[in-house]
Structure 1
Amino acid sequence: MRPRFHCTTTLAAHRTLALPAGAARHVQVLRMQPGDELSLFDGSGGEYDATIERMGRSEVTVQVGAHAAIEREAPRAVHLAVGMPANERMDWLVEKATELGVASIQPLMTAHGVLRLAGERADKKRAHWQAIAVSACEQCGRNRVPLVHPVRAFAAWIDSPPIDDAERFVLSLAEGAHQLREIRDGAPAANLRGACVLSGPEGGLSAVEEREAIVRGFAPLTLGPRVLRAETAALAALALLASA
């Protein structure tokens, strides 16, 4: 696969374009040269062939070629709402969720969560995670970048989860939780409706949070008898639902 770069500017076929700073820097790091071919995408769908025309000290100019209406999205749009795991695990979750086809990610502060973010620190973290999603799209071939929403407190988010017309699931270790096939048995076909999965941090959701989610239509979902790490559980549910 030829090198792929995300452009923050809107692309159009058959025009000369100075690459945005981030993409230009990446081209230079790879030591590409005039005449080298690459692929560009701006997140609106599909991708463009392009050829490097000129390399400056900080500027890279390309000739944009034809648009190819190529999509590599999952069959079902799955949105993750996750109690943020600490340290580097949220970075890893965002990267792998993007590779697996997540439609959007909502970072949440929950009762048992260690990571607490607000103000400028929250904004910087969100920008960092969005950049990770962009890089993962460049690597895996996706042409649509999943949105990482601003960090929200669970109590504020649960009153108005922004995913309309989607199946809702909350990952649960409670005795009454069901596996996906049990939830689907006897139900009408989902017709590839979207899905929203709520997942807790390392300590899981509190009993109150899980109860509030269930009251608002989130079906309690178990992934089996093993206790998974927070980031593993969210990714397993994503993989399960993206094509279910």
Structure 2
Amino acid sequence: MVEPDQVVADQLCLSSSQQHYLYRVLRLGAGQQFVALDGQGQQWIATLTTKPDVAAIAPLSRPSSATQAPVTLVIALPKGSGFDDVVRQTTELGVSTLQPVISDRTLHQPNPKKLERWQRIAAEATEQSERLLLPQILPPMPWRDYLKQVSEGSRWICVARGDAPHLLTVAQASDLTRPAVIATGPEGGWTEAEVEGAIATGFQPVSLGPHILRAVTAPLAALTLVMAVHAQRKFEDI
């Protein structure tokens, strides 16, 4: 991931940490290429030069997902370091925004320094997956406070029991040109009051299938289903 001020004309000025990664970790040399991106939609093919702190760059054009309607995951914080993996994997899958929330059954009270760590993990996963846009990682907030916010588009809350329709069926029948918000619960699931509060603010209960998923698995399953529908719609439009 590069900062905008590192790009000057057709050159990329490499930081010391980037030089270490390229030359020492990846063991690249002069004349070899890599993909550079800024997380804001710009990407380049970069070629290492004989100067270790400079790479020559040329714009790289590929089909972009930047025009896709944003998908936000609202995730009740799992215990331990589980959210680290959720950040990494949902970034790879294409999430737009991650909003961690503290629910009635949340066991993990986050350290304020965790946000910086999650943002760093998201940046690393963005580079690894070569996606154009860096997802936004928001500070944790209470679930009840989140429900006071107004958002456009579809709003789905994943529930483990009951007769809620499957998220795949609901997504296939939805207008995915509009933003979507998907909420997944903590270990033990949402409380009845939390689900009722979500419904009162416009959330539709949905199911992820007949099995009880872990708090770190549910967001991946939910996002995969919605992104699959996005991909199907794009294929049908070709």
What TM-score results when the alignment is normalised by the length of structure 1? 0.83
Question: What is the aligned partner in structure 2 of residue 36 from structure 1?
Answer: 32
Which of residues 188, 194, 201 is equivalent to 1:203? 188
Q: For 2:40 and 2:66, how far apart are their aligned partners in 1? A: 13
Question: What is the aligned partner in structure 2 of residue 178 from structure 1?
Answer: 165
Which of residues 12, 21, 29 is equivalent to 1:26? 21
Deviations 1:77-113, CA, capped at 9 Å, x for gaps: 3210000112231111111111111111001111111
Q: For 2:190 and 2:129, how far apart are their aligned partners in 1? A: 31
* Shift in CA distance, 151/139, structure 1 to aligned 2, threshold 3 Å: same
* Shift in CA distance, 184/9, structure 1 to aligned 2, threshold 3 Å: closer
Q: For 2:41 and 2:199, how far apart are their aligned partners in 1? A: 35
Question: What is the aligned partner in structure 2 of residue 141 from structure 1?
Answer: 130
Equivalent residues of 1:9, 1:20 under 8 A apart: no
List gaps (5 residues or longer) in structure 2: 230-238
Q: What is the aligned length?
A: 228
SS of 1:243's equivalent in the other structure is helix
Q: For 1:135 and 1:72, how far apart are their aligned partners in 2? A: 19
SS of 2:99's equivalent in the other structure is strand
* Shift in CA distance, 174/72, structure 1 to aligned 2, threshold 3 Å: same
Question: What is the aligned partner in structure 2 of residue 153 from structure 1?
Answer: 142
Give aligned-pair identity as a percent.
29
Measured after TM superposition, the shift of residue 191 of structure 1 is: 4.7
Measured after TM superposition, the shift of residue 72 of structure 1 is: 4.8
Equivalent residues of 2:171, 2:226 under 8 A apart: no
Equivalent residues of 2:3, 2:38 under 8 A apart: yes
For 1:45, the aligned partner's letter is G
Structure 1 residue 82 corresponds to structure 2 residue 75? yes
List gaps (5 residues or longer) in structure 1: 1-5
Structure 1 residue 107 corresponds to structure 2 residue 100? yes
Superposed CA RMSD in Å reads: 2.4
What TM-score results when the alignment is normalised by the length of structure 2? 0.85
Question: What is the aligned partner in structure 2 of residue 241 from structure 1?
Answer: 226
